[in-house]
Amino acid sequence: MKTVHSWNYWSAMADVPEKEWKDNVFDYNPTRTIEFMNNLEQPWIGFKVLAAGSIKPEDGFKYAFENGADFITVGMYDFQIVDNVNLINSVLPEAKNRKRPWFG
């Protein structure tokens, strides 16, 4: 299980030197994370794919799967389950640019 998300959200502070970061970045080096995880033989679970709600589900789910996550874990309310399952069903077929083969 590893955090995996882009820095495409308002508080990521990608343009601020690392030594000045506060605790608003959950994946400190997305490129290195993806590179490392894509070389694993074991399946892996993407965690914090929405950066604590800062990234839209359609963007975070797609990013995680396209960048090698075999599974994702996402916190949600009960009223979000149906929409998120439907979203996953539409995002998975689009994750064709994966470098890592699907586990299984």
What pTM does this model have? Answer: 0.80
Residue 16 lies in a domain: no
Residue 103 lies in a domain: no
Please write the tens of the pLDDT for every residue from 40-98.
889 999 998 988 888 899 999 999 999 999 999 999 999 999 999 999 999 999 887 88
Residue 81 lies in a domain: yes
Range of the domain at 64: 2-7+27-94
What is the signed CA dihedral for 59, 96, 26, 82, rounded to 10 degrees? 50
| Domain count of the fold of the chain | 1
Residue 76 lies in a domain: yes
Residue 53 lies in a domain: yes
Helices of type H across 1-104: 30-38, 57-66, 81-91
